[in-house]
Amino acid sequence: MLKAVILIGGPQKGTRFRPLSFEVPKPLFPVAGVPTLQHHIEACVKVPNMKEILLIGFYQPNEELNRFLSSAQQEFKIPVRYLQEYAALGTGGGIYHFRDQILSGSPQQFFVLNADVCSEFPLEDMLRFQKEHGDAHSFIILATTANRKQSLNYGCIVENEHTSEVLHYVEKPSTFVSDIINCGIYLFTPEIFQHIGAVFRKNQQDVMLDEQCNGWQRAEVIRLEQDIFTALAAQEKLYVYKTDRFWSQIKSAGSAIYASRLYLNQYHKTHPERLATNKDGGPKIIGNVYVHPTANIDPTAVLGPNVSIGTGVTIGAGVRVRESIILHGATLQDHSCVLNSIIGWDSTIGKWARVEGTPSDPNPNDPYAKIDSETLFRDGKLTPSITILGCNVTIPSEVIILNSIVLPHKDLNRSFKNQIIL
Amino acid sequence: MKALILVGGYGTRLRPLTLSVPKPLVEFCNKPILLHQVEALVKAGVRHVVLAVSYMSDLLEREMKTQEQRLGIKISLSHEKEPLGTAGPLALARELLTDSDEPFFVLNSDVICDFPFEDMLKFHKNHGKEGTIVVTKVEEPSKYGVVVYEGETGRIHRFVEKPQVFVSNKINAGMYIFSPSMLRRIQLRPTSIEKEIFPVMAEEGQLYAMELQGFWMDIGQPKDFLTGMCMYLQSVRQNAPERLRTGPGFLGNVLVDPTAVIGENCTIGPNVTIGAGVVLEDGVRIKRCTVLKGAHIRSHSWLESCIVGWSSSVGQWVRMENVSVLGEDVIVSDELYINGANVLPHKSITDSVPEPRIIM
């Protein structure tokens, strides 16, 4: 049997996702119409023999998460449980802490997936690769190719080109090491816990010996990447499976629009029923669009490409939406125009208002380019990015909101450009 | 009676419009700028209008022929081979202007107002001296040259360029009436009437000021063109409200050519002029704009403080604002944001212009 663990992090992570992460844990933010996590879960349940999915993180139990868990269990007919860390334990510490839960029922292997990525999740390919390459106890890292410059922002892997063994692993190097980067998706056997355990015990000793120890340093905090993979390299245990399928981090809100585009495109294969089509009496659909059935959309509106419309959204006559995510309960009044933006829950856009951002897409001319984990400011100026309205923001008629971030519950009374509006 | 209109050169300040059409023929509130002046002159009894031009234009010549017939007057073009300033053209037209003893009008071609030509004539004859200039009140006199004159008689004492302390809030409005004897003061060479001629006339007690009632604007550049349009439409509201369009979807003062086609669910105004053959599709929002002949604005677009050039086309969901000026036959693609762009004729725009600039 198989299991899967999804690392969902906690509230002090995901700050780059503000102001949207104020309202909903980042793993539940909808991408292509469904919570980010659901894409992971859908990929996991497709793998034969998958018996349980465990979410590990340090969010306090909350209503959204509970609702998501119970609906996922119902929909996929598989146990989906949340295991809460008592503190942020790192990517290795979390799974080590809950190793008994993971190993109960004796899975031969288990996947570990970071929640903040979007991917085609070629999990079965990873299983096959594990079988084909060496022993059945090897660990597999899913990797992809980046360009030289951007590789520095990721975990970099040097492989033996013949055996695919990981010869060297370094997290976010300051100089170029390899263009093969870690996708944050792993296949482990239970033996991984021996390696994490060894690090744990060493940490314990270090903490005891260290008289300067100020108390917050914990032996249990273990990072898979720096603490485990680096040590496992060139030990004939760790192998890399490279994919050329789509993959991206979802760190910032801007990357959510890009991730939505990737998933919407995948729906042609996996969920064609989720893609809106041009129908009599319906809005004009251009390209890939997701519209929740409860949304109320005027037939003269034009949507797409890459638009996701949430529950209970109202879209008036002559509205244009492109490359945007409209969250539940939002209202776009007649003739308004929303481009490259995320419109927060229950926000209202007035007539003829224009809400526009600047896309932060990877360089389209470089097949290995990734989305830049953008810095908010460059040279003291807000870098042009997508426009994000927090929840319950009101935009008056006829104004323009350009490249701005509006925090929740604001009633704006004029146009804004290149600003964060507190 | 005669009048000399100082048309001058290429009208560069009103580019990109004047790259396609000589400035006097650019429509202001659906009528060529020059005709606003010529028609008012005709009404005041002028039968011969001389246009002082520093470049020749077939288009202007042809149009003036048409207007001669329509108005039953004579329109001549006086062509200066080299720029003669604001006074030189009077010397060039000396023979035309001195063939009778009647006073003649001189005006700058960029001025728009309720032209007071009959009052000027009356005022001029009343004081009996060589010249009368019209003055208008401004809020910030320090930006202009002001005229200091005797309140009761109008006799001008002096001119003060950009005064730092308040001496007067009246400025030269660019409209004059002169007796032919005044022409002896002007040589055929580049001369500024304001700087070289008027101060001397004032000194000699030969120059009087008449204060303009109502609005006044120099519409020589796009920003002022739009401000002048607002003033003009307000004056139409007071004097001939039936010329303005009202009804559902129209706000404030809106002038629409009868051949324009306007879609459903548009909101137009305040302060909009829509030219002949213009098409506004459904759901357009437009305020404080001039849309010139044959332009096409597609649905759901939003325009404020713009001049849309002849036969230009603005796509769907375009937002255009901040004194954007499209030259003739410009195409703006769908969904763009155009902020303060000056677009030269025959350009196709496919990317937003988020900050003001010139699109060559």
Positions of chain B with pLDDT lower than 50, given as ranges: none
- The CATH number linked to A318 is 2.160.10.10
**Domain's final residue, options A186, A215, A249:** A249
Same domain, A242 and A337: no
**Partners of residue B293 on adjacent β-strands:** none
**Domain's final residue, options A231, A249, A267:** A249
Residue the block writes with tokens 């996991």: A44
At residue A215, the pLDDT reads 56
Give B304's contacts in chain A (Cβ within 8 Å). 398
Q: Do A337 and B285 touch (CB under 8 A)?
A: no
Helix (H), strand (E) counts: chain A: 9, 34
CATH code, B228-358: 2.160.10.10
Measured distance between the N- and C-terminal CA atoms of chain A, rounded to whole angstroms: 50
Give A324 to chain B, closest Cα distance, Å: 14
Does A16 touch chain B if contact means CB atoms closer than 8 Å?
Answer: no
Q: How does residue A365 score in pLDDT terms, banded at 50, 70 and 90?
A: confident
- In this prediction, residues A243-257 reach a mean pLDDT of 89
Q: Per the structure, how many domains does chain A have?
A: 2
Helix (H, G, I), strand (E, B) or coil at A38: helix
Comparing C-alpha atoms, which of A264, A288, A348, A314 is closest to residue A31?
A: A264
Give B326 to chain A, closest Cα distance, Å: 21
Q: Which domain holds residue A282?
A: 275-417
CA-nearest residue to B283 within chain A is: A335
The first and second tokens of residue B102, run together, are 């009647």
Listing DSSP states for A10-31 in one string gives: -TTS-GGGTTGGGTS-GGGSEE
Which has more confidence, B274 or A361?
B274
Alpha-carbon distance values, A107 to A53, A72, A123, A228, B281 (Å): 12, 21, 16, 21, 65
Same domain, A113 and A239: yes
pTM value is 0.85
Q: Do B300 and A351 touch (CB under 8 A)?
A: no
Same domain, A242 and A317: no
Q: Which CATH superfamily is domain B2-218 in?
A: Spore Coat Polysaccharide Biosynthesis Protein SpsA; Chain A (3.90.550.10)
Helix (H, G, I), strand (E, B) or coil at B61: helix
Burial category of B354 from C-beta neighbours within 10 Å (exposed 0-12, middle 13-18, buried 19 and up) = buried
From chain A residues 253-312, the ones with a CB under 8 A of any chain B CB are: none
Same domain, A359 and A406: yes
Same domain, A405 and A358: yes
Measured distance between the N- and C-terminal CA atoms of chain B, rounded to whole angstroms: 44
Comparing C-alpha atoms, which of B111, B101, B100, B50 is closest to residue B79?
A: B50
At residue A57, the pLDDT reads 93
Select the residue from A303, A321, A335, A416 to test the B interface by mutation, using most B Cβ atoms within 10 A.
A335
How far, in Å, CA of A224 to CA of A14, rounded?
19
Say which residues have a Cβ less than 8 Å from residue B173's Cβ, sequence separation at least 6.
B111, B113, B133, B134, B135, B136, B212, B216
At residue B166, the pLDDT reads 85
Strand pairing class (A109-114; A180-188) = antiparallel
Give B303's contacts in chain A (Cβ within 8 Å). none
How far, in Å, CA of A313 to CA of A190, rounded?
46
Alpha-carbon distance values, A341 to A70, A116, A261, A323, B269 (Å): 31, 20, 13, 7, 29
Does A351 touch chain B if contact means CB atoms closer than 8 Å?
Answer: yes
The predicted complex's ipTM stands at 0.78
Give B281 to chain A, closest Cα distance, Å: 11
Q: How does residue A212 score in pLDDT terms, banded at 50, 70 and 90?
A: low
Q: Is B162 assigned a catalytic role?
A: yes
At residue B12, the pLDDT reads 80
Question: From the candidates B31, B65, B125, B162, which is the catalytic residue?
Answer: B162
Residue-wise pLDDT for B56-83, tens only, equals 778 888 888 998 999 999 998 888 888 8
Q: How does residue A376 score in pLDDT terms, banded at 50, 70 and 90?
A: low
At residue A380, the pLDDT reads 65
On whether the CB atoms of residues A245 and A120 are closer than 8 A, the answer is: yes
Q: Is the pLDDT of residue A286 over 70?
A: yes
Residue-wise pLDDT for A53-93, tens only, equals 999 999 998 888 999 999 999 999 999 999 999 988 989 99
Task: Establish, for the pair of chains A and B, how many residue pairs have beta carbons separated by less than 8 Å.
Answer: 44
Q: Do A335 and B354 touch (CB under 8 A)?
A: no
- The CATH number linked to A59 is 3.90.550.10
Same domain, A226 and A282: no
Comparing C-alpha atoms, which of A90, A421, A349 is closest to residue A223?
A: A90
**Partners of residue A408 on adjacent β-strands:** none
Q: Is residue A112 part of a domain?
A: yes
Q: Do B285 and A352 touch (CB under 8 A)?
A: yes
Select the residue from B265, B288, B299, B319 to test the A interface by mutation, using most A Cβ atoms within 10 A.
B319
Residue-wise pLDDT for A89-143, tens only, equals 989 999 999 999 999 999 999 999 999 999 999 999 999 999 887 677 899 999 9
The pair phi, psi for residue A56, each rounded to 5°, is: -120, 130
* Average pLDDT of chain A to the nearest whole number: 90
Of B302, B316, B354, the CB nearest to A352: B302
